[in-house]
């Protein structure tokens, strides 16, 4: 059972515009959420995270929003740059899940120059 879902396999955005990547989860015990970025032939790298005590976390051009009631989070990239083109994975964890992270299937972002 997929506990973390990314329903959009791909997204294309013009350079300079906003990219919005979405993620839904089903386990209400998750209380820590992360976004990873993956380039071809490389492993995922950590991008930004948010705990359930917050509804927003910002790091430069990247902002993650969490809506606990909807079990939904989103990653906003503003402004989008061609170097942001990659696959983005959403992941979730929590004290209840121990040392485990649960990943979504990823969204491939293409930023068009």
Partner 1 sequence: DAMVIQNPRYQVTQFGKPVTLSCSQTLNHNVMYWYQQKSSQAPKLLFHYYDKDFNNEADTPDNFQSRRPNTSFCFLDIRSPGLGDAAMYLCATSRDFGGGDLYQETQYFGPGTRLLVL
Binding residues for partner 1, rule: CB under 8 A, are 2, 4, 9, 31-32, 34, 36, 41-46, 49, 51, 89, 93-95, 98-106
Least Å distance, CB 112 to partner 1, is 22
- Cβ contact 86:38 at 8 Å: yes
Of 23, 35, 5, 27, the C-alpha closest to 95 is 27
Q: Which is nearer to partner 1, 32 or 62 (CB)?
A: 32
Q: Which is nearer to partner 1, 60 or 98 (CB)?
A: 98
d(CA 39, CA 16): 20
Q: Which is nearer to partner 1, 92 or 111 (CB)?
A: 92
d(CA 105, CA 59): 23
């Amino acid at each position: 059972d997929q506990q973390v879902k990314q329903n959009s396999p791909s997204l294309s955005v013009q350079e300079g515009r906003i990219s919005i990547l979405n993620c839904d989860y089903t386990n209400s015990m998750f209380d820590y959420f992360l976004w990873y970025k993956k380039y071809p032939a490389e492993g995922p790298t950590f991008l930004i995270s948010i705990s359930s005590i917050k509804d927003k976390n910002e790091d430069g051009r990247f902002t993650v929003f969490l809506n606990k009631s909807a079990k939904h989070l989103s990653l906003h990239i503003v402004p989008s740059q061609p170097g942001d083109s990659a696959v983005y994975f959403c992941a979730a964890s929590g004290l209840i899940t121990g040392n485990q992270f649960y990943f979504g299937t990823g969204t491939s972002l293409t930023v068009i120059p």
